[in-house]
Chains A and B, each alone.
Chain A
């Protein structure tokens, strides 16, 4: 038995039955990191000492019966956009290269309180801006299924670490697809939660009106277990409404007979990979076999969503990035003689190309005379996108779509052309604008590369997409396939 390849559910069982210890699982993950991460490059920081200390402490508490959480003693990788007390947190930006926060993000604190063992911090596109992890200020991450390809992004390090067995689960963030798309590219499960379902306190903001955080895991059952720990309202994040948190691990065991699943025609576009198209159709048939009803639907503003996103996102980026000024924390330019020069040079030296592009676009879109034409217009289109989904959900329970138009592409393929990189987000962005939840699960292979499908659910109805995903995984084994690294 390879301990680093256990599901959370199996590890939980084994820890309780004393088949193995947290120190043993943790050591197994750390050994896998040493063995493969030179080629995958999923981690920016590995905290070996901290992980082993946490594992030892978890073992002691488990033996005394002081830890009841299903996550106790289980190794997790955290995207580097989460603040972790005493452990460098960079958001993959040079501007935070040496930043060590004094506090934990709420989600990280909840995991630690549950007895989780953090093995390290994962690579990403700088401040989550990108879809391939090539925009990291440090180095790109490689896809464990084919090292010449991207792992997706922006949470590419978390997805790659999961797929290559370097942790049992991981946390990421999803603003326009940054959990779902890398989950699809790396053949793992990923959940984008409803806006406001999980606290973002202590997570560096990118697009505040869209940012969400969520888990990666091998199985949907594991996602359910993680959600039970991290979901809920938080006084430190005013955008988390007091909506009850479901017992997801119970909800997912119910069958899906009579569940209505919508297939939107706008998500089967020209130019998408035929293998991806066939994967979605085969998945729909599988759901039918499980007793669900497939219904054709339309989401007419799908195309417009992408254009609206690429106004809303850079506009909010230009505002959020203003806090990196070289004064209070992070990189500061030594070459500056006065305050203005300090700002100009600190930010020029600290930010990478994609961050600068979005700051400039956003500053332009919000500048005097252009606000109505760009930001306001985009927010109006956002209303139309949201209404599309609200109407569709009057006749269906969930919506089934592809995650991305293609499987993982080659490193370097889109890096010179930001617009083509943006267009790859077409199937994940509309749900982000609507603030609904979305689950990516492995559903097939195209040319030996994993391909996922996306299940979209109503706001705060994570339980229904998790249930559909879990039932699907009872009769398929795509999620159990592992890459040979």
Chain B
């Protein structure tokens, strides 16, 4: 399986990751080699085999829905790059034209 530099650019953009031309070239080679390696999976017969996503068999491990004081809101806000009036500020999402 070959990943072209155009494909790398497209996938990286889906992942919100800017990649340089040099990175595109390097990743195209390295990731194509990795995909060739993992392609051996296709040779394994998995007809009727259930997928395993985790191994302990736990399902819907719900806790009681009880309000609890965390008292860390200010501490968490303090780790944000920019805040105003107790909110995190971000660049505008929609452009009004």
Contacts and interface: CB of A to CB of B under 8 A. Distances in A.
A378 B46 CA distance: 10
Q: Which of B50, B55, B88, B95 has the most CB of A within 10 A?
A: B55
B49 interface: yes
B56 A195 contact: yes
A44 B6 CA distance: 37
A358 to B, nearest CB: 10
18 contacts: A100-B79, A101-B79, A102-B79, A194-B56, A195-B54, A209-B53, A322-B16, A328-B88, A329-B79, A339-B92, A344-B18, A348-B18, A359-B15, A361-B31, A367-B14, A379-B53, A381-B41, A434-B55
Contacts of A381: 41, 44, 46
A347 B16 CA distance: 7
A308 interface: yes
A419 B91 contact: no
Contact of B92 (A238, A338, A353, A382): A338
Interface stretch (A167-175, A217-225, A369-377, A475-483): A369-377
Query: What are the 9 tightest A-B residue pairs by CB atom distance, in nearest-first order?
Result: A435-B55, A102-B75, A379-B51, A348-B18, A380-B46, A329-B79, A343-B16, A344-B18, A332-B81
Nearest to A389: B55
> Quick one: which of B38, B53, B61, B91 has the most chain A CB within 10 A?
B38
Interface of A: 99-103, 194-196, 209, 235, 238-239, 241, 301, 303-304, 307-308, 310-311, 318, 322, 325-330, 332, 336-340, 342-345, 347-348, 351, 353, 356-357, 359-361, 363-364, 367, 373-374, 376-384, 386, 418-419, 422, 433-435, 459
Contacts of A364: 3, 7, 11, 31
B54 A348 contact: no
Given A100-B79, A459-B56, A308 B41 contact: yes
B42 A357 contact: no
Interface of B: 3, 7-8, 11-20, 23, 26-27, 30-31, 33-35, 37-38, 40-42, 44, 46, 49-56, 58, 61, 63, 72, 75-76, 78-82, 88, 90-93, 95
Nearest to B49: A380
A472 B42 CA distance: 41
A308 B30 CA distance: 18
Contact of B17 (A99, A336, A351): A351
A373 B42 contact: yes
Contacts of B42: 373, 377
Contacts of B55: 195, 386, 434-435, 459
Given A339-B93, A383-B51, A377 B56 contact: no
Contact of A419 (B11, B37, B56, B80): B37
A304 B18 contact: no
Contacts of A195: 54-56
Contacts of A339: 90-93
Contacts of B27: 356-357, 360
A235 B40 contact: no
Contact of A326 (B3, B61, B81): B81
Given A101-B79, A311-B41, A357-B27, A383 B52 contact: yes
A343 B88 CA distance: 15
Nearest to A373: B42
Contact of A239 (B35, B40, B58): B58
Given A100-B79, A377-B42, A379-B53, A325 B16 contact: yes
A343 B18 CA distance: 9
B2 to A, nearest CB: 12
A235 B63 contact: yes
Contact of B49 (A367, A373, A383): A383
Contact of B52 (A337, A340, A382): A382
Contacts of B37: 307, 310, 419, 422
A342 B16 CA distance: 9
Contact of A103 (B3, B18, B30, B72): B72
Nearest to A339: B91
A377 B47 CA distance: 10
Given A101-B79, A239-B54, A378-B41, A310 B34 contact: yes
A311 B37 CA distance: 11
A359 B16 CA distance: 10
A344 B38 contact: no
A194 B52 CA distance: 16
A339 B50 CA distance: 41
A467 B83 CA distance: 53
Contacts of A418: 30, 34
Contacts of B38: 307-308, 310-311, 374, 378
